[in-house]
A and B are shown apart, each in its own frame.
Chain A
């Protein structure tokens, strides 16, 4: 057998581990509302994110109704339609996915998986959630101000974002920008926590190269977020200044609605650079945690080590680094200097290499595995299928020439939903089915889970796969109505109708999932401490659900990497990370 860095025989001497002082709440409010326990904060983050995500899901269904059956509802007028487009996008990307992966999974899993008692700055962690919560409330409030929510598109491009002619160009956009700024402040408090906890509070023996890939994904994503969000913060502040006190950061001389405005000399493209300097890493802020989590799901349920662990870690790091030099591939037809296209097309396509390696290693993990098709595994494999599709269409859009016909069409909508909506959400579902037993002590219902998987997986493919072809045809995105052209045949409207029906089915079936979350909390099968027979530390806690402080009296000592599945010579097909070499039960035939 090849010698690898995670050699199980390497001995770790038990040492003095400075105990961290935990905050012990005395009141119910301190325990469950203003809690400083990362696990409670995680649940608060997750519930808020899922709740606002459900709102955004309903918005997407309203859009689909308009596209499938134009004019069916009077209240979806052109103005409401682009407000739906805007709010759906912004909520899903920032307030759902970012908050759920980092605030939700990050908070729950980081301390447990690295063997820490809690995050290192629990008070800042608590503030992080409450600021996020206020940001969500402000965003929701923007629906109810005069003029309604912003309809500038989730990219909020000026000049239109702050001019008449776009819905919500008064109150809506101001509240949106304030909410984003608050979100970033809150996130920074959490994000510093995640990074410092991973770097400073790992238990003895948990070297960086023994960390589960889930933690690597969340770690790298957090670093990206800490570096990328400031670009959004400054652009939000600059746009607020343009709107409120008449500066001209992004505003050139303009005639709006026949009137000369006072702006002069600003650059709308400057905003786009700032936005996408945040916006592209944002894609990986969502994707990297998903990559990490899915690696662990595959390994646990295939009973096999993740293939090429070191390569996987390096791929995460390289993708993270490259994600900062590809942003302008969102701007090939923005009117920026077209010579930039050469550079950004090259960097963008290079990023396909480490990403492809990850895909290969996932499927090679299945090779000669011992696959248990549990519900989390169904979602993990479904993710690979969807992600392969979405990743490959990225090679169309990233290649600057092909972007000319496809940019701003439904192809783009199909691509990014496949790759950064459906794919990460499949991982979110897989992860919830996987970790729910640890969080609540009970299993989620299997039958409901399988039903949920099949409808979601097949339904989303039915929505987005054909949508690419509308894009090839040239059907533009963000269009309230596509009637009246010569080149879009009536069959395109029929296809839209089909897509809308699929979308409504998928949307409604998510209620089954929510129902499952509730019913299983009370009636689910008792899970025990390690129902999936996994190796990582969160499954080795003294109590399930883990109590405040996570590990009882003694912090675990780590002797091995996170992927000792089916190790030859061991009786059981998994060896938890905290099992010393001397304690491994040898199988009979090996003795």
Chain B
């Protein structure tokens, strides 16, 4: 009896939890309301089965519990009942599958007029690329990738010269326009996922994958990497900011074309911002903070709070004072000196002299010098 009551309470509790739970789908911010509809339909069908089967079982436990002198029926099979149950189940399954496939057909066929842009993943940082005025993305190859050409652009492809290179933490998209994202990875598997847009897809080195959606609500949305990609996986984040068309265009103008990155004539950014603030923004946008905390919390690499001026002990037992030279060396050739207790996994990065100055200013003045 107790057992049956517990089963009934679990069924009721599960249903109540479902309706009262504060944890549920985030408010939708894309065109994919059909995905939410499919989920709701599936909930109704599976929920009914869950309640029916378990209540039936609880009833049996109450009604057919062994009593003195009672005896079970002998009924090896009941063809008619079995055929009915099979048929009904098949019907329920079809009712869920059909809309599912219908929506999927929509997902695999992006609209012809969708804007095309590219998302590039590498451990543990997102970058983006937009086609320039010609509306075409230039070809790329992982083997072209260098610190100066972080996205591996083909230097000889005329289509790529005007591509806009966004090596930054955030990306903007215009509201109401379908966008087809081409996804590409330079090292391991990653996955571009935004909860509010509902869609996600892996980035696979060696091939280009895609997903599409139409942003429908202005705002800033977290991008998470959702395919395990190593130690920094949980910190591989970014934001999609959905803008009005005009704001989006203005934002895009602040980023250089590929040709400009080659000639070093990009739009001047961060004018009138203090050196420390420029450094803070660089540390954010270039992904340093994914592994180097700036608030003193534990992180994958040595945290930057109070780091400058400290004497660090290296894996080989030597020591070094964190000064400008050490800082620069650790960025351009990270494995030259590795602090004891941390894995030697940092990729070398490339900054202009001005950027490097800003970073050091941020570490030194913004985060305070350490004591030994």
Q: Which residues on A are within 8 Å of B, measured CB to CB?
A: 1-2, 4, 6, 71, 74, 77-79, 82, 151-153, 157, 159-160, 163-167, 252-258, 260, 265-269, 302-305, 307-311, 333-335, 338-339, 341-342, 345-346, 349-350, 352-353, 356-357, 359-361, 363-364, 366-373, 378, 381, 384-385, 388-389, 392-393, 395-396, 399-402, 404-405, 407-409, 458, 461, 465-466, 469-470, 472-474, 476-482, 484-487, 489, 491-492, 495, 563, 565-568, 573
Contacts and interface: CB of A to CB of B under 8 A. Distances in A.
A82 to B, nearest CB: 7
A488 B206 CA distance: 33
Given A157-B189, A363-B56, A371-B64, A566 B50 contact: no
A395 B145 CA distance: 43
Contacts of B142: 252-255, 260
B228 A82 contact: yes
B61 A395 contact: no
A478 B72 contact: no
A153 B230 CA distance: 9
B26 A478 contact: no
Given A157-B189, A258-B347, A474-B196, 20 more contacts: A1-B74, A152-B228, A253-B206, A254-B142, A257-B346, A257-B348, A303-B71, A305-B75, A310-B77, A341-B108, A345-B101, A360-B82, A370-B70, A373-B65, A385-B7, A389-B14, A395-B42, A399-B100, A409-B226, A474-B224
A209 to B, nearest CB: 12
Contact of A487 (B21, B147, B195): B195
Of A71, A309, A567, A573, most buried by chain B (CB within 10 Å of CB) is A573
B347 A257 contact: yes
9 contacts: A2-B76, A77-B298, A165-B230, A254-B142, A334-B202, A341-B108, A356-B89, A378-B3, A393-B46
Nearest to B102: A401
Contacts of B35: 401-402, 404-405
B234 A479 contact: yes
Nearest to A153: B228
B338 to A, nearest CB: 12
Nearest to B88: A356
A160 B189 contact: yes
A2 B220 CA distance: 68
A469 B61 CA distance: 30
Nearest to B109: A338
Contacts of B101: 342, 345-346, 400-401
Nearest to B81: A364
A419 to B, nearest CB: 13
For B97, B183, B203, B298, the residue with the greatest tally of chain A CB atoms inside 10 Å of its CB is B97
Contacts of B206: 252-253, 265-268
A2 B77 CA distance: 9
A385 B72 contact: no
Contacts of A378: 3
B264 interface: no
A408 B222 CA distance: 16
B31 interface: no
B60 A371 contact: yes
A405 B200 contact: yes
Given A353-B93, A371-B61, A469-B23, A480 B234 contact: yes
Interface of B: 3, 6-7, 10, 14, 17, 21-26, 32, 34-35, 38-39, 42, 45-46, 49-50, 53-54, 56-57, 60-61, 64-66, 70-78, 81-82, 85-86, 89-90, 93, 96-97, 99-101, 103-105, 107-108, 122-123, 141-143, 145, 147, 152, 183, 186-189, 191, 193, 195-196, 198-207, 209, 220-222, 224, 226-234, 237, 297-298, 300, 343-349
A268 B189 CA distance: 8
Given A392-B50, A573-B72, A472 B108 contact: no
A366 B3 CA distance: 14
Contacts of B209: 335
A353 B237 contact: no
A357 B99 CA distance: 24
Nearest to A404: B199
Nearest to B207: A335
Given A307-B75, A309-B76, A469-B23, A353 B228 contact: no
Contacts of B298: 71, 74, 77
A470 to B, nearest CB: 6
A573 B66 CA distance: 12
B180 to A, nearest CB: 13
A390 to B, nearest CB: 11
Query: Shortest 5 CB-CB distances between A and B: which pairs?
Result: A252-B206, A474-B195, A160-B188, A335-B209, A408-B226
B345 A370 contact: no
B234 to A, nearest CB: 4
Contact of A485 (B39, B152, B183, B224): B224
A212 to B, nearest CB: 15
Nearest to A399: B100
Given A153-B228, A392-B50, A370 B71 contact: yes
Q: Which of B14, B23, B234 has the most CB of A within 10 A?
A: B23
B22 A491 contact: yes
B231 A167 contact: yes
A339 B54 CA distance: 37
A418 to B, nearest CB: 12
A373 B67 CA distance: 11
A210 B116 CA distance: 62
Contact of A573 (B57, B71, B199, B297): B71
Contact of B73 (A2, A368, A392): A368
Contacts of B38: 399, 401-402
Contacts of A407: 200, 226
Contacts of A573: 71-72
A308 B82 contact: yes
A315 to B, nearest CB: 10
